[in-house]
Structure 1
Amino acid sequence: MAQQGSLSNKVVWITGASSGLGKALAQECALQGAQVVLTARRVDELEKVRLSLTNPDRHICVSADISNENQVRHAYEQVLNQKGRIDWLINNAGLSQRALIADTTMQTERAIMEVDYFSQVFLTKTVLPTFLKQKSGRIAFVSSVAGLLGTQYRASYSAAKAAIHMWANSLRAEVAQDGVDVSVIFPGFVKTNVSFNALDGAGKPQGHQDEAIENGLEPEVFAKTVVSALLNGEEYIVVGGTKEKLGVWMSRLSPSTLYKMIRKAKVK
């Protein structure tokens, strides 16, 4: 399928850009000619990513904790001062979970919702006036196949990823007439360090890799697929292996069959 859009010289702001999906998306956008703005908490890690990109001098690092509203406002000002516009915002920063509901504290429930839902909402609301003024741009949210299905050990994560999906759907309807597009990306298993950082019930990082993630898609393949879909104006982008795609398909066709499949699945 021929791509409709081009990223040449477009400004693409990516959160959670120091590793994993964010890093892979940054590398692909840079390859396609974009000026990439990298955001995460650790500036040294961001610098490493920036230097790995095609034409490193065209890209900037803006460190911020996306759950800190003052830091987000400051980051936004820096991006506008240095780049003057934002063409794509990719809300990618996120936190996963590996714990049963019975073992998950309310503090952990809230921590996951804070990062995976509220912080994305706040950043988007902060940046939205620029998109509306430009009457152009695309806002993308990295949700998850878990946000479409809901599985064991990922209740809070699935809920937060479902919540941002529905918020994005409402946003899409509200800004469509203003030339602003909204896309939601649903990754299945991709080989990243997400499961090392996933929170256990007490809110501590799990610290080891999951088998399903280890056997997942390569991040570069994920990024190529996503950037291509975004350039084609796609709004609902599922990227994963056969099992995840089957699950998404089944969730629409026969939810009760899906629930049985999930009960039997090895998801830890």
Structure 2
Amino acid sequence: MNSFSLKNKTILITGASSGIGRSCSVECSKNGADLILIARNEQELAKTVSLLDSASKVETIIADITNCENLENLIEEKVAILGKISGFIHCAGLEKTLPFKKHSAQLFNDIFAVNVVSGFEIAKILSLKKYKTETSSFVFIASVAGIVGEKGKLAYSASKGAVISGVRSIAMELAKSNVRVNSISPAMINTPILEKMFENIGDEASQEIIKQHPLGIGEPEDVANACVFLLSDASKWITGSNLVVDGGYSVG
């Protein structure tokens, strides 16, 4: 038996319409999982679905996870179709780079709502016996910004630090329910968001950022493959951990 396989597992993924969330959807599908995908952008989510392995069953939820009163009902409907959930990846995220003096209370609220609160709220739902399989695994996408300091990213860094520390507490509490809970901290990943940032800061500054990653800028599948590992039975003795996937960024 392949311990890394996700066959016969149903995985719920937020932020599945682009970037790391899309790549996680594709890689989980390649490894045999059925999927419940959540995103706000219906058109982009449909594009993700078109990239999945034809053998995977997939259900989609178009919703704003920060403002969706009936999210549990929507999840319950999909569980009734695909079966109980074995894994959860919280990929939905919001990033804003601004000087400290321009950070507002609203900015903190907006970023924490997506990056922290919504993920923990969904995990709370999925930890209920009626929605989860006997053993399950939750993975939260954090960031190296939650470990090391980065200029202009106070709210973002603070939110990702909250994810990393929160995961430890949830892991301790849910261990008795056979739920493993871990986070993954990527550095710069080659996504449309990064491309846009490089366009804004210019070539010289972009090259400087690239040099900070000894193994170069990462690809979304580098993070997705780490997620597959943490969702699989191959990682059945890992919980409360933060897996750094950063091409050596945090070493320097």
Query: Normalising to structure 2: TM-score of the pair?
Result: 0.85
d(CA) in 1 for partners of 2:41, 2:165: 30
d(CA) in 2 for partners of 1:72, 1:103: 33
Is residue 63–residue 75 contact of structure 1 (8 Å, CA) maintained in 2? no
d(CA) in 1 for partners of 2:230, 2:127: 22
d(CA) in 2 for partners of 1:221, 1:117: 22
Per the alignment, residue 219 of structure 1 pairs with: 220
Alpha-carbon distance, 1:122 to partner: 1.3
Alpha-carbon distance, 1:238 to partner: 1.0
**Amino acid of the structure 1 residue aligned with 2:243:** I
4+ residue runs over 6 A deviation? none
How many percent identity over aligned positions? 29
Is residue 65–residue 72 contact of structure 1 (8 Å, CA) maintained in 2? no
Aligned length in residues: 238
Is residue 13–residue 37 contact of structure 1 (8 Å, CA) maintained in 2? yes
More displaced stretch, 133-142 vs 108-117: 133-142
Alpha-carbon distance, 1:24 to partner: 0.5
Alpha-carbon distance, 1:133 to partner: 6.0
Per the alignment, residue 188 of structure 2 pairs with: 189
d(CA) in 1 for partners of 2:159, 2:121: 14
Query: Which has more strand, going by share of residues?
Result: 2
Unaligned 5+ segments in structure 2 are none
d(CA) in 2 for partners of 1:9, 1:110: 38
Is residue 79–residue 131 contact of structure 2 (8 Å, CA) maintained in 1? no
Alpha-carbon distance, 1:84 to partner: 2.0
Structure 1's 229 and 124: CA in aligned 2 closer, same or farther, altered over 3 A?
A: closer
User: SS in structure 1 opposite 2:93?
Assistant: coil
d(CA) in 1 for partners of 2:190, 2:58: 25
Q: In the TM superposition, what whole-angstrom CA distance separates every residue of 1:106-152 from its partner, at most 9, and x where no partner exists? A: 21121111111111121111221037863310011111111111311
Q: In the TM superposition, what whole-angstrom CA distance separates every residue of 1:198-255 from its partner, at most 9, and x where no partner exists? A: 9xxxxxxx994783479621112332233235433143311111223x05xxxxxxxx
Alpha-carbon distance, 1:20 to partner: 0.2
**Amino acid of the structure 1 residue aligned with 2:247:** G
Per the alignment, residue 177 of structure 2 pairs with: 178
Q: In the TM superposition, what whole-angstrom CA distance separates every residue of 1:153-209 from its partner, at most 9, and x where no partner exists? A: 1110111111121111111101112211111111111111235789xxxxxxx9947
CA RMSD of aligned residues (A): 2.6
**Amino acid of the structure 2 residue aligned with 1:218:** E
**Amino acid of the structure 1 residue aligned with 2:114:** V
Query: Which has more helix, going by share of residues?
Result: 1
Per the alignment, residue 28 of structure 2 pairs with: 29
d(CA) in 2 for partners of 1:152, 1:13: 33
Per the alignment, residue 236 of structure 1 pairs with: 242
